[in-house]
Amino acid sequence: MAIARVPHYLKVSAVSEDGVYETIEYTKNGSLLLGVQFHPEIEGESYLFDWLISSCHKYLCLVNRDFAIQYPCNYKIVEYHSKYSKCVNDSNMEENTYLSWQVFKKFLYENGYDAEVESAYRSKELQEKIYQKIEQEEGSEYVREHVAKPGFSEHELGLAIDICLKKEDEWLSGFDERLDDFYYFLKDNCANFGFILRYPKGKEKITKYNYEPWHIRFVGNKEIAHSIMDNHKILEEYLSEEY
C-alpha cells in the first residue's frame, strides 16, 4: 500500500496492517489522536477510508478532499432556523457550533452586519443531491473542483457554516464585492468565537478548494481558533504541527 499517498501535512507515527486495510495512527504523548484506515480498492487508489479522533479533540476532526467522514457521526445536531429565505432544510448544526454561532451572530449584528446561515449541516443524502444538481447544471469538471463529494464535506459534520448577509433588504452571498468589508470583518473576528476560515486565499494547494470567504468552521474554542487564524494557518497545518 502506498504510504506516499498520505497527505504531506500529516505525520505518520505508527503503521500496522489489518487484512485489506492499513491503519495509520497519529499519537501524542502515547495517546491516540487520530487513526486513519486506507482501503486500496476505493477510487482505484489507496484512498483514505476512515478516521477516528479522541473525544477531547472532537472539534479538530479533519474532513477534506482526502479524508472521508466516518459514519455514524457522533455530533449532536440541533435545530436552527435561518432567516435567509432560500435556506430551507440545511441550517441545523452541531450543538456547540450553534451556541457559538448565536453569540457570534449577535456580535456581528451589533457591528452593523445582519448575517445569517446560508447553509450548515447537510446529511450525506443532501450533499449527494447538491452534488448531482450542480453537476447537471455546471458539468462534471466544475463540480469536482468546487463541491465536496458526498462523505467528504465538513457540512456533513455540522461544524461548518456558509454565511450570507442581509444588506438593504437584499440577501447577498458568495462572491459579491458588496460583501468585501463583511468578509474582512468575519475573518478578523471569527476566532474570538471558536471559528476559523477554512478555505483562505493562498492555501488552495493544501485545501484543494478555491478561496471561500463565507465558509467558517468551528474548532471547539477560541484558543485553538486563534492559534490557527493569528498564524495564518489552516487546520491541516495546525494538526501537522501540534500533533
Q: Which residues bind Zn ion (CB under 5 A)?
A: 162, 215
Hey, which residues does 14 pair with through a beta bridge? 25
Would you call 79 a catalytic residue per the annotation? no
| Amino acid of residue 16 | S
In the bound state with Zn ion, the residue whose beta carbon lies nearer, of 33 and 147, is 147
Cα 74 from Cα 88, distance rounded (Å): 24
Residue nearest to Zn ion (CB): 215
Q: How far is CA 234 from the centre of its chain?
A: 11
In the bound state with Zn ion, the residue whose beta carbon lies nearer, of 52 and 172, is 172
In contact, 127 and 148? CB cutoff 8 Å: yes
- Tell me how far, at minimum, the Cβ of 188 lies from Zn ion, in Å: 19
- Tell me how far, at minimum, the Cβ of 224 lies from Zn ion, in Å: 20
Helical (H) or strand (E) element with 238: helix 235-242
In contact, 204 and 210? CB cutoff 8 Å: yes
- Tell me how far, at minimum, the Cβ of 128 lies from Zn ion, in Å: 16
User: In the block, which residue shows the cell 497527505?
Assistant: 7
In the bound state with Zn ion, the residue whose beta carbon lies nearer, of 22 and 156, is 156
- Tell me how far, at minimum, the Cβ of 155 lies from Zn ion, in Å: 6
In the bound state with Zn ion, the residue whose beta carbon lies nearer, of 57 and 215, is 215
Helix (H, G, I), strand (E, B) or coil at 139: coil
In the bound state with Zn ion, the residue whose beta carbon lies nearer, of 203 and 215, is 215
Q: What angle do CA 37, 4, 215 make, to 5 degrees?
A: 65
Cα 143 from Cα 101, distance rounded (Å): 28
Q: Name the catalytic one among 22, 116, 212, 236.
A: 212
Helix (H, G, I), strand (E, B) or coil at 140: helix
**Phi, psi torsion values for 88, nearest 5 degrees:** -95, -60
- Tell me how far, at minimum, the Cβ of 149 lies from Zn ion, in Å: 14
Please list the active-site residues: 212
